[in-house]
């Protein structure tokens, strides 16, 4: 597999080796030793799968006291996937990485614990999988505004379909108590 480092510490784009022929393809979506060598050395405790329609934007989400690392991929369709550094002590706080993940490119993104994460659906339908390093705790969940002008994320959709909760997520300045 090819491991691509990004501008954010620890955030990786992974391009698995795909073996294909007229019948279809085969790839390893996870192999503990190979991923450990790439720096992904936390145990995975929960796998999630979501299906969304074109224009849905989920995020930007994180857990406050029990942050999850996420190894994300798409098995059907295409998404624009984003990780945002929200650590106030980090020199890259407020910066993001965005990448297209699809069933054609087979890419994965590793989002270490402590980052906000979200995606928007580019295809008619997308099936999105993520392996998590901690369990999901609804009471611990936090959110960040998808359209925060300070982040200036170039989402490829102008008017996304959002959950009621995601419509009211705060800006990074508000989240970090740096308003004014």
Q: Is 61 noted as a catalytic residue in this protein? A: yes
> Could you identify the residue written with the tokens 């979200």?
118
From 35, 80, 115, 130, the catalytic residue: 130
Q: By three-state DSSP, how is residue 100 classified? A: strand
Question: In the structure encoding, which two tokens stand for residue 133, read together?
Answer: 């390093």
Q: Each residue of 145-168: b (16+ CB within 10 Å) or e?
A: bbebeebebeeeeeebebeeebee
From 61, 80, 106, 117, the catalytic residue: 61
Q: Is 35 noted as a catalytic residue in this protein? A: no
Counting residues of the chain whose pLDDT is more than 70, the rounded percentage is 99
Domain that includes residue 59, residue range: 2-176
Rounded to an integer, the average pLDDT of 141-154 is 96
Comparing C-alpha atoms, which of 135, 140, 145, 137 is closest to residue 165? 145
- What is the domain-level CATH number for residue 143? 2.60.120.10
Domain count of the fold of the chain: 1
pLDDT digits (tens, 9 = 90+) for 31-55: 899 999 999 999 999 999 999 999 9
What is the greatest pairwise CA distance in the chain? Answer: 60
What pLDDT is attached to residue 104? Answer: 95
73/83 Cα distance (integer angstroms): 13
The rounded mean pLDDT for the chain is 95
DSSP 34: H
What pLDDT is attached to residue 85? Answer: 98
> Is residue 180 pLDDT above 80, yes or no?
no
pLDDT digits (tens, 9 = 90+) for 82-114: 999 999 999 999 999 999 999 999 999 999 999
Q: Cis omega before residue 77 (within 30°)?
A: no
> Could you identify the residue written with the tokens 């990074």?
172
pLDDT digits (tens, 9 = 90+) for 111-144: 999 999 999 999 999 999 999 999 999 999 999 9
40/23 Cα distance (integer angstroms): 32
């Amino acid at each position: 597999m090819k491991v691509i480092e990004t501008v954010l510490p620890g955030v990786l784009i992974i391009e698995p080796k795909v073996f294909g022929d007229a019948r279809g393809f085969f790839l390893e979506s996870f192999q503990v030793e190979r991923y450990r060598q790439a720096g992904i050395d936390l145990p995975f405790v929960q796998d999630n799968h979501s299906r969304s329609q074109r224009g849905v934007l989920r995020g930007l989400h994180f857990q406050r006291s029990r942050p999850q690392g996420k190894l994300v991929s798409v098995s059907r369709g295409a998404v624009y996937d984003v990780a945002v550094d929200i650590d106030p002590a980090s020199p890259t706080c407020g910066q993001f990485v965005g990448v297209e993940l699809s069933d054609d490119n087979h890419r994965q993104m590793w989002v270490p614990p402590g980052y906000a994460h979200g995606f928007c659906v580019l295809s008619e339908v997308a099936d999105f999988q993520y392996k998590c390093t901690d369990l999901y705790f609804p009471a611990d969940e936090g959110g960040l505004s998808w359209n925060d002008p300070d982040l200036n994320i170039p989402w490829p959709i102008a008017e996304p379909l959002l959950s009621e909760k995601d419509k009211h997520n705060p800006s990074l300045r508000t989240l970090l108590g740096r308003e004014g």
